[in-house]
């Protein structure tokens, strides 16, 4: 309801629930919940029709809840944002109470995620320490904007070029062979636009612009960083 009210249309929080094999044979037992958040592009439909039970966490049977972070502008990261809306509030005040009403949970809530999902679970754990009891994150998006894509966005002037005028790398193969530059990343996203990864960061961390779209951390043609926008990113740093 919160997200639907924000966007003025029906919005859902999508997930897959996997029950442990013990769930059916121990009808009075309650279980901890392990929330998993996929990275950018992960889609809960990938598990449609999959009847595999949840895997135990070490030796503890858990209910797995695999959260789909997709939203209109990319990955919600389950953070409240001026552009994507109140995703944290929707998860914590609407989704989780409904989940715990429908399934036999014991009140323990754990988090794990990868990439943008890794950032999501770190955000949820640090912002809501009384809601969640533990967090494991792998390869999260930048958790410190002094090193966002290897760029200190508070001090650097340009996302595409360093002070020497060389193009900044976004990715390398085997840590040695240049593969993608930051400039080509943005150029690609301005051709294929759906809210890809760089724009997804803007949607989460930036204010809403006068045109109704997220303000960009940089000029998408020149790479020049907008300091007014980077200062707003500090709210998520």
Is the model's pLDDT at 192 over the cut of 70?
no
pLDDT of residue 170: 85
Give the SS3 label for residue 94: helix
Residue 208, beta-bridge partner list: 214
Whole-model pTM: value is 0.92
Residue 225 has pLDDT above 60, yes or no: yes
Dist CA 120 CA 79 (whole Å): 7
pLDDT at 237 (0 to 100): 87
Q: How confident is the model at residue 195 (pLDDT cuts 50, 70, 90)?
A: low
Residue 51: both structure tokens together: 């009847």
Rounded Cα distance between 9 and 144, Å, is 34
Q: How far apart are alpha carbons 4 and 44 in whole angstroms? A: 20
C-alpha 177/C-alpha 144 separation (Å) is: 25
pLDDT digits (tens, 9 = 90+) for 44-78: 999 988 999 999 999 999 999 999 999 999 999 99
Instruction: Quick: pLDDT tens for 102-154.
Output: 999 999 999 999 999 999 999 999 999 999 999 999 999 999 989 888 899 99
10 Å CB burial of residue 72 (0-12, 13-18, 19+) is middle
> Which pLDDT score, from 0 to 100, does residue 193 have?
59
């Amino acid at each position: 309801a919160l997200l639907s009210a924000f966007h003025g249309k029906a919005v859902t929080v999508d997930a897959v629930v996997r029950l442990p094999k013990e769930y059916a044979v121990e009808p009075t037992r309650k279980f901890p919940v392990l929330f998993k958040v996929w990275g950018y592009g992960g889609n809960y439909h990938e598990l449609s029709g999959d009847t595999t039970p949840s895997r135990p966490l070490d030796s503890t049977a858990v209910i797995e809840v695999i959260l789909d972070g997709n939203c209109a502008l990319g990955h919600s990261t389950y953070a409240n944002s001026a552009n994507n809306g109140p995703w944290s509030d929707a998860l914590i005040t609407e989704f989780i109470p409904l989940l715990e009403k429908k399934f036999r949970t014991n009140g323990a809530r754990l988090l794990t995620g990868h990439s943008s999902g890794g950032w999501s679970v770190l955000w949820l754990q640090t912002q809501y320490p009384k809601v969640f009891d533990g967090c494991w994150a792998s390869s999260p998006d930048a958790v410190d904007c002094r090193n966002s894509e290897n760029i200190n966005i508070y001090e650097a002037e340009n996302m595409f070029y360093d002070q020497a005028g060389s193009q900044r790398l976004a990715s390398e193969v085997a840590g040695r062979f240049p593969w993608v530059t930051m400039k080509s990343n943005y150029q690609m996203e301005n051709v294929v636009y759906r809210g890809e990864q760089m724009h997804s960061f803007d949607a989460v961390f930036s204010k809403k612009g006068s045109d109704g779209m997220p303000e960009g951390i940089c000029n998408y043609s020149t790479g020049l960083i907008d300091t007014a926008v980077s200062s707003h990113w500090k709210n998520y740093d």
